[in-house]
Structure 1
Amino acid sequence: MSNDLSITSLVLQASLVVQLVMAGLLAISLASWTVIFGKLFGLKRVRRGNEDFEREFWSGKSLTEMNQAVTNKPLTAPLERIFASGMREFLKLREKRLDAGAQLDGARRAMRASYQRELDVVESNLSFLASVGSVSPYVGLFGTVWGIMHAFTGLASLQQVTLASVAPGIAEA
């Protein structure tokens, strides 16, 4: 083993198993950061869209005007989609001339189902992040143990063990 302790040389001198562990951790780290930043920007977009819809909703417009405004444009905010599904169901049940309680219950059910769909979208990939967060330390520990075993195997063939001969193997771990 060489005594060069740069990151590049340590990675290149590491055993294949340690290199695979490092590559796997790097790939999972990049995937995790992609999900994290995607969630960050996605939640900001959701918040902005919901705030815009809420401002319009409480502006004093009638529900009919709101429904026309929502149906004439693509729905971008979760609150818009929840409102639109509730209004669609309400209008459909009103055409059937059901009593007001049945109309409201139907609209409430439609809005609850739409809310659950929106929540599923917002919560997507969180289980991936949780799994990565709980498994990664153990994968890293496996790589460390493997590196230490590799270092001690290399030391077994030496006549005299010095700090200079131990350092590269321990640094790999």
Structure 2
Amino acid sequence: MTDINMLDLFLKTSLLVKLILLILLCFSILSWAIIIQCTLSLHTAKIQAKSFENKFRSGIELSLLYQASKARYNNLTGSEKIFYSGFKEFVQCHRFHAKAASCLTEAAARTMRISLNREIEILERDIPFLGTIASISPYIGLFGTIWGIMHAFMSLGAVKQTSLQMIAPGIAEALIATAIGLFAAIPAVMAYNSLNQHMNYLEQHYRNFMEEFIVILNRHAFAADSNIIKK
């Protein structure tokens, strides 16, 4: 059994196949960068959401929690950003606009939905590109394989007698493109599915928090004393 020297096989391939292999290698590196970045972002988002919601459910006055969030506005994410936008809209509507409880909570809910969608958009920004890499990499690799095999057979045209030993190296070189294509695609497919599952979980988690907060705002909207908002 002979050892496979990938560098030697790469150097023996045609210029087009070399270009295809380099593209696939770049796709693989980029996909792993996206996988690591998205995994860390989702993990951080879950931790931050849990930390803020523990404060939210601790019995602290919502006005105090709002002031704390306002002081670090530029660093707000996830559940805290949803809370801040909803509470701000609720207070402003109560002071300057609608007085009906339904109007107050509906305005806050609309604002929170916008914040939620923005948070999800930021978190899943690079995931679709990961799906693109997973989809096209095998086809790019297959194209390289077909071109490599064609090149190998065309080079045999000037030879009168051929054998398997003469064809095998050229075919092996061509098949590298398929192997590298799968090497780029398989981790991307697995990560794409896994990250989407985590995104769905986190989005539902945000929506549950938003609904919980709307219930609390609705209760306070009907309260007689709306100047002091307590949980």
Q: State the TM-score, normalized to the length of structure 1.
A: 0.92
Distance 1:131 1:83 in 2: 34
- Mapping 1:47-66, distance limit 5 Å: 47-66=46-65
- Mapping 1:1-173, distance limit 5 Å: 6-74=5-73, 75-96=75-96, 98-99=98-99, 100-173=101-174
Distance 2:67 2:87 in 1: 10
Per-residue CA shift, 1:86-115, capped at 9, x if unaligned? Answer: 011111111115212211111111001101
How far residue 73 of structure 1 moved from its aligned partner, in angstroms, is 2.3
Gaps of 5+ in 1: none
Gaps of 5+ in 2: 175-231
RMSD across aligned positions (CA): 1.7
Q: Percent identity?
A: 39
- Secondary structure at 2:156's aligned position in 1? helix
- Secondary structure at 1:38's aligned position in 2? helix
CA contact (8 A) 1:49 1:76 kept: no
With 88-97 and 51-60 compared, the bigger mean Cα shift is at 88-97
With 158-167 and 37-46 compared, the bigger mean Cα shift is at 158-167
CA contact (8 A) 1:18 1:143 kept: yes
Distance 1:101 1:86 in 2: 14
How far residue 76 of structure 1 moved from its aligned partner, in angstroms, is 3.7
- The number of residue pairs the alignment matches comes to 171
Distance 1:108 1:20 in 2: 52
Distance 1:6 1:120 in 2: 44
How far residue 132 of structure 1 moved from its aligned partner, in angstroms, is 1.3
Per-residue CA shift, 1:20-47, capped at 9, x if unaligned? Answer: 1100111111111111111001101101
- Secondary structure at 1:156's aligned position in 2? coil
CA contact (8 A) 1:5 1:171 kept: no
Distance 1:146 1:48 in 2: 49
How far residue 161 of structure 1 moved from its aligned partner, in angstroms, is 1.7
